[in-house]
Structures are given as structure tokens and as C-alpha cells.
Amino acid sequence: MTPIPLPPLTAHRYQFELTLHQNAHLPTYLGAMLRGGFGLTFKRFVCMQPQLEQCDGCLLLHTCAYPAVFQPVPPPNATVLSTHDRIPVPYILEPPPPR
């Protein structure tokens, strides 16, 4: 088997803190809530076709930052990933353990 040449892998770790300004009932696992809130806000800032509910039919699917982060698909010329409709997201959210 011939190895596939890959570009260099760069990884970063970011830590942030959120403060609630009023009482709230939070789910036991915060990851889904954080991803949803971040995703909605990110899409509002970067989406050039906000009238579309889904990215699948958008002409900017392969150049827009939102699907690259939240709904990644293989690039049009992909050979290795061409059999997949979706690929893993390029990040990991690690919320703090429940208190």
C-alpha cells in the first residue's frame, strides 16, 4: 500500500469562560448547548445565504466558513473521502464536568 501524502497537521487549544448573568437551568452535559449556541452565532456572522435553511444546496458550500466548521463535506476533488457524504468536524468541545 502506498502512503497518502498529507499536509502538516496544526492543532490549537483554546479555553474560554462563560458567565451567566441570571439563574438558568442547564443540562447535565453542556457540550450540545455550547455547540448549538456557538453554531447559531457563527452562522449569523459568516453565512452569505441566510435565507437557506440548509447548506447542502448553497453555491458557496465549499468556500463558506460555516459548513467547513459545522457541516464539513469532502472537497469536490477528494479521492480518499469521496465515498462519504459528511466528514468529522475539525474541533472537539470539552465542557467542564457537572458540579
* pLDDT per residue as tens digits for the range 2-50: 888 888 888 899 888 888 899 988 888 888 899 999 999 999 999 999 9
- The answer for 21, left when phi > 0, alpha when psi is -120 to 50, beta otherwise, is alpha
| Mean pLDDT of all residues belonging to the chain | 87
At 43 the pLDDT is 94
**Among candidates 65, 24, 59, which has minimal Cα distance to 42?**
65
Give the HSE-up count for residue 38: Cα atoms under 13 Å, Cβ half-sphere: 13
At 47 the pLDDT is 94
pTM recorded for the entire structure: 0.71
At 22 the pLDDT is 93
Give the HSE-up count for residue 90: Cα atoms under 13 Å, Cβ half-sphere: 13
